[in-house]
C-alpha cells in the first residue's frame, strides 16, 4: 500500500505548490540536483533541465503541454555511470516506462536516483505547441491545466492533444518512487503525493509529509479518463490496421519517408550504439541503384524506407511505450506512432508483456520459456 500525503496549494497557485515541493526535495542533503521541465529564458519553450540552485526552480513548468523529447534519454545519460550524487528527476509516466526499459537494457541505473512522477495531462505536438503558446508562457500553461483539470478537455484554439496522448492509457505515474496526483483532486487547495517505493518513503520521511487518505473521487476520475483513452486507442488500432494490412498499403502509408532517421533518434528505447542502417550494409554502390532500376524499370528514391521501419518494428516493438516522439520528429508528418503502437500492442500482448511495467520483468526474447507459444514451437 502506497503511503499517501498531500501538498497544500495556496492562493490557487498549483504550479507554485509544485515548485515549492521541488525546492523542498532539492533542499535535502542527499539530493544533489533535480531534473525538471523548465522554461527556457531565450524562447517560449520547455525543456528538461538539470538544476542545482533552488532559486532557479521558479522556471519549473511540469504542467506545460510541451513535450519536445522523451526525458528517459536524458536520464539514461545521467545514470549510465555513477555521477557522484543523487538526482531527483521529474518525469511523465511514458518517460518513466521508457527509462525502466532502458534500465533492463543496461542503458541506465536506478541507483542514486529518485523518480518523481506527475499525473500526465497530455501534450500537444511540437508544431501545434509552437502555434498555440503565446508570449506569456505562464498564462498559457495555466490556461491549459485549468481547462484539463476542470474536465473541459485539452482542446484549445483549434488544436488537441497529440494522438499518442489521446491513446495513452497510463496517465498515472505508477512506476515512480514518488507520484503526484492531480486527477480527481481539488487542485485549488491540495494535491496528492504518494510514496510507491522504499526510496519514496525515505523522501517522505525526510520531508516530514503528513499522511492522509486518497479521496474516492480520484479513482473514479482516473478510471473514467483511462476508459476514454482506451476507446480512442482501440479506434486508432482499427484504423491503422486497415490502412496497413497489406504490403501495398504499408508502402503507401510510408511513402513520404525520406530516411532521415529522425524517428530512430527521437525514440527513447532505440538504443543501439551503431544502427545497421548507418553501416556499409546500406551504403549501396551507385551501380546497385542502376541495376535495380534496370530490373524493375523504376525504383523509388531513397530506397530501403519500408525495410527500415519493418526492421525497427521487429527490433523494438516489445519495448515501445507509445510516447509519440517518433511522429513528433517526422518532417513529413507520417503517423509513425500509430503504426508502432498498433504493432507493439499486439507484440506485447503475445508475450504477456507490458513495456515499462516492472523492472522485474525480463524483456521478451531475453530468456527461453518452455511454456511460451506452444502452438508455434510444438513443445509439449
The reported pTM is: 0.93
| Spatial distance between the Cα atoms of 236 and 219, rounded to a whole number of angstroms | 25
| Spatial distance between the Cα atoms of 214 and 217, rounded to a whole number of angstroms | 8
Query: DSSP character for 211?
Result: B
User: Coil, strand, or helix at residue 302?
Assistant: coil
pLDDT of 379 higher than 60: no
Give me the mean pLDDT over the 19-45 stretch.
94
**Per-domain boundaries in the chain:** 3-232, 246-377
Residue 245's pLDDT is what? 96
| Spatial distance between the Cα atoms of 132 and 152, rounded to a whole number of angstroms | 18
Q: In whole numbers, what is the pLDDT of the chain averaged over residues?
A: 93
**H/E element holding 7?**
strand 3-8
Q: Tens digits of per-residue pLDDT, 157-196?
A: 899 999 999 999 999 999 999 999 999 999 999 999 999 9
**Grid cell locating 192:** 496528492
Packing angle of the helix pair 336-350, 216-244 (nearest 10 deg): 110
| Spatial distance between the Cα atoms of 262 and 365, rounded to a whole number of angstroms | 27
User: Coil, strand, or helix at residue 192?
Assistant: strand
Residue 121's pLDDT is what? 97
β-strands 113-118, 86-91: how paired?
parallel
Q: Tens digits of per-residue pLDDT, 52-66?
A: 999 999 999 999 999
| Spatial distance between the Cα atoms of 100 and 17, rounded to a whole number of angstroms | 28
By the 8 A CB rule, do 87 and 78 touch?
yes
Residue 377's pLDDT is what? 55
Report in angstroms the alpha-carbon separations of 346 from 56, 69, 290, 292.
44, 25, 39, 34
Find cell 497489406 and name the residue: 246
pLDDT of 274 higher than 90: no
State the pLDDT confidence band at 14, using cuts at 50, 70 and 90.
Answer: very high
| Spatial distance between the Cα atoms of 230 and 168, rounded to a whole number of angstroms | 7
**Grid cell locating 199:** 526510496
SS3 for 40-60 is CCCCCCEEEEEECCHHHHHHE
Contacts with 142 (C-beta within 8 Å, 6 or more apart), sequence order:
15
β-strands 31-39, 3-8: how paired?
unpaired
| Spatial distance between the Cα atoms of 81 and 363, rounded to a whole number of angstroms | 22
Amino acid at each position: 500500500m502506497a503511503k499517501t500525503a498531500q501538498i497544500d496549494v495556496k492562493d490557487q497557485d498549483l504550479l507554485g505548490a509544485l515548485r515549492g515541493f521541488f525546492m523542498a526535495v532539492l533542499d535535502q542533503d542527499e539530493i544533489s540536483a533535480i531534473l525538471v521541465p523548465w522554461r527556457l529564458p531565450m524562447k517560449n519553450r520547455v525543456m528538461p533541465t538539470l538544476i542545482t540552485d533552488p532559486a532557479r526552480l521558479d522556471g519549473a513548468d511540469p504542467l506545460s503541454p510541451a513535450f519536445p523529447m522523451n526525458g528517459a534519454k536524458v536520464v539514461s545519460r545521467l545514470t549510465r555511470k555513477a555521477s557522484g550524487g543523487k538526482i531527483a528527476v521529474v518525469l511523465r509516466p511514458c518517460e518513466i516506462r521508457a527509462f525502466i526499459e532502458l534500465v533492463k537494457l543496461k542503458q541506465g541505473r536506478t541507483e542514486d536516483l529518485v523518480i518523481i512522477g506527475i499525473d500526465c495531462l497530455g501534450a500537444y505536438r511540437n508544431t501545434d505547441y509552437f502555434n498555440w503558446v503565446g508570449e506569456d508562457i505562464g498564462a498559457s500553461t495555466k490556461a491549459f491545466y485549468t481547462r484539463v483539470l476542470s474536465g473541459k478537455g485539452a482542446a484549445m484554439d483549434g488544436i488537441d492533444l497529440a494522438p499518442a496522448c489521446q491513446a495513452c492509457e497510463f496517465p498515472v505515474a505508477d512506476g515512480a518512487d514518488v507520484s503526484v496526483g492531480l486527477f480527481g483532486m481539488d487542485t485549488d487547495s491540495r494535491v496528492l503525493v504518494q510514496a510507491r517505493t522504499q526510496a519514496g518513503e525515505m523522501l517522505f520521511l525526510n520531508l516530514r509529509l503528513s499522511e492522509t487518505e486518497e479521496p474516492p473521487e480520484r479513482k473514479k476520475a482516473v478510471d473514467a479518463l483511462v476508459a476514454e483513452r482506451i476507446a480512442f486507442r482501440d479506434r486508432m488500432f482499427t484504423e491503422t490496421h486497415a490502412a496497413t494490412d497489406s504490403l501495398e498499403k504499408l508502402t503507401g502509408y510510408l511513402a513520404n519517408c525520406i530516411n532521415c532517421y529522425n524517428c530512430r533518434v527521437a525514440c527513447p528505447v532505440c538504443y543501439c550504439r551503431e544502427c545497421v542502417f548507418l553501416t556499409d550494409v546500406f551504403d549501396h554502390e551507385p551501380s546497385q541503384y542502376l541495376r535495380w532500376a534496370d530490373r524493375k524499370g523504376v525504383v523509388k528514391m531513397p530506397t530501403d524506407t519500408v525495410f527500415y521501419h519493418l526492421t525497427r518494428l521487429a527490433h523494438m516493438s516489445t519495448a515501445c511505450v507509445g510516447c509519440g516522439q517518433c511522429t513528433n520528429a517526422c518532417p513529413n508528418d507520417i503517423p509513425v506512432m500509430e503504426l508502432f503502437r498498433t504493432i507493439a500492442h499486439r507484440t506485447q500482448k503475445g508475450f504477456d508483456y507490458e513495456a515499462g511495467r516492472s523492472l522485474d520483468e525480463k524483456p521478451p526474447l531475453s530468456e527461453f520459456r518452455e511454456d511460451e507459444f506452444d502452438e508455434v514451437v510444438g513443445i509439449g
